[in-house]
Chains A and B, each alone.
Chain A
Amino acid sequence: MTKKLKKAGFGLVLVAIVIGAGYASTRFRQTKAPFTAHTIVYRATHYDESENVIETDTIVRQVSADGTWRHTIIRQDGSVTHTGGKLAGPLTDRQTDAASPRHLGHAYYEDRQKAPSWISSELQDFLMFTALRSDGSKQSKIEAIDISTP
């Protein structure tokens, strides 16, 4: 009888240990955040068809570690609008190295295949982007003027 009780007790302890280990592995597992949280302040310049500047705005872009992004846009006339969304995944798998150019302390690669852009692999974000019209003329340009990470 005592032997049976001992066996049952041992079994219970074993089950408790396994449950505890499972709980701990889930609760304390270190998961790497997919994105580096950061804030970029862009100067946004808009051009007419003749590429004359028609408006200059300020965009404050906040990106969270989960990829959520929020833009606060301060228009030239003082009005404020917001846009926001969530990054579906990393923007790029291209890497930068020690020889890469830097802007505001962040390495980037330049891409001119379609719209001219500077992209930071570390931040998974644009440091500069130029939107073109269908005829190839410059429509707008956003350029980072300040970058901060928490």
Chain B
Amino acid sequence: MKARLRILLLMVGLVIAFTAGRTLGTECSYHQTSCTYRVGGCYPGPGSCDLHGGGICYTEYGVCCTGGGADSSTFCAPSCDGSGGGPACNN
């Protein structure tokens, strides 16, 4: 009886560990932009936001204000209105 209980507990533990691993594995891959950019748009990705307070994993992209190039940032948020990119981008 004890042996069965041990096996059962082990199985439950394994299932929990597997679920936790899956959650971590598909977690939103945060990315900080390397420049202040003019936002072009944003779109959701497949990453989970369970460990980041919920919401949707968004990628916001745009053209860097100075120095050329384009960059993006990825974050968890309830919605994305393109208001990111930083305040220093004067048009």
Contacts and interface: CB of A to CB of B under 8 A. Distances in A.
Q: Is the interface of B mostly helix, strand, loop or mixed?
A: strand
Interface in B38-55: 38-46
Contacts of A126: 40-41, 61, 70
Interface in B18-55: 29, 31-32, 34-35, 38-46
A83 B68 contact: no
Nearest to A69: B41
B74 A69 contact: no
Contact of B72 (A89, A92, A111, A129): A129
Q: Is the interface of A mostly helix, strand, loop or mixed?
A: strand
B63 A91 contact: yes
A57 to B, nearest CB: 7
A84 interface: yes
A61 B83 CA distance: 17
Contact of B43 (A83, A88, A91): A83
Contacts of A147: none
A132 B33 CA distance: 10
Contact of A83 (B67, B71, B79): B79
A41 interface: no
Nearest to B89: A88
Most chain-A CB neighbours within 10 Å: which of B34, B35, B46, B67? Answer: B46
A57 B43 contact: yes
B72 A115 contact: yes
A62 to B, nearest CB: 11
B40 A73 contact: no
B42 A46 contact: no
B59 A140 contact: yes
A75 B35 CA distance: 29
Contacts of A49: 29
A84 B38 contact: no
A44 interface: yes
A85 B61 contact: no
B70 A117 contact: yes
Contacts of B61: 115, 126, 129, 131, 142
9 closest Cβ contacts across the A-B interface? A85-B82, A89-B91, A113-B69, A114-B69, A117-B70, A131-B72, A55-B46, A83-B80, A114-B71
